[in-house]
Amino acid sequence: MVPALQAGRFDVINTGLFWTEERFKLMFQVPYGQQSMSIYTVPSSKLVVTKFEDLSGHVVGIETGTYAERKSRESNAAMVAKGMAPIDFRTFATASETTAALRAGQLEAGINIDETAIAFEERGIVKIRASGLYGTDITLSVRDRAVAEAVAQALTDLKADGTYDKLFDKFRMTRLKDTTKFAIRGPGPAPK
């Protein structure tokens, strides 16, 4: 999506892209919420997980190419550097594939974003063991500064009239902390 945005095929990426230092150099990112990760198991699992480090030495499924995978691998490397056993990661193309492998007994746990884990738990498919891990901003990512500024103003207006809070309550999303005025985070791409 990022190359297509840069090529002008569309103006905004609205998939909850996580804010990163690399990305803010490629596009204008307007944070609108927070995203965190959950660790989950099948409901009958006896695995005790209260924090990421509890996955040391276990087989864990994760969606490939995601912030959750990147952050999990970074955290795993830090654990290994401390002398802990590594996590045996198995990657999947989607959250549904990860959860299917978990249910088939191929994994001991899965990792995904909180909202996805909550949806699976509400359906009785999984049990969340730890959540709210490694929170970061999620953004609307924009090709043009003027459009990004308009997006930020629209979010500010939605916050002021209560719509933002109603939507975040409805979909159980995590709001940005102490935000009444939304803005572009980082300098954005260098002028051409």
CA distance 37 to 29: 21
150-176 pLDDT, tens digit each: 999 999 999 999 999 999 888 878 888
Indicate the average pLDDT of the chain: 93
* pLDDT of res. 166: 95
Q: Classify 106 as helix, strand or coil.
A: coil
Mean pLDDT over 180-191 rounds to 88
Cα–Cα distances (Å) from 179 to 32, 81, 97, 128, in that order, read: 9, 37, 36, 28
CA distance 155 to 160: 9
Question: What is 2-35+137-170's CATH number, 3.10.50.40, 3.40.640.10, 1.10.287.40, 3.40.190.10?
Answer: 3.40.190.10
The pTM of the full predicted model, rounded to 2 decimals, is 0.81
19-40 pLDDT, tens digit each: 888 888 889 999 999 889 999 9
What letter does residue 155 receive in the DSSP assignment? Answer: H
14-23 pLDDT, tens digit each: 887 888 888 8
Give the CATH architecture of domain 36-135: 3-Layer(aba) Sandwich (3.40)
Helix (H) or strand (E) holding 45: none
CA distance 136 to 182: 16
The amino acid that residue 11 corresponds to is D
45-81 pLDDT, tens digit each: 999 999 999 999 999 999 998 889 999 999 999 999 9
* Helices 114-122, 95-103: inter-axial angle, 10-degree rounding: 50
Pairing of the two strands 59-63 and 88-92: parallel
Which residue ranges make up each domain of the chain?
Answer: 2-35+137-170, 36-135
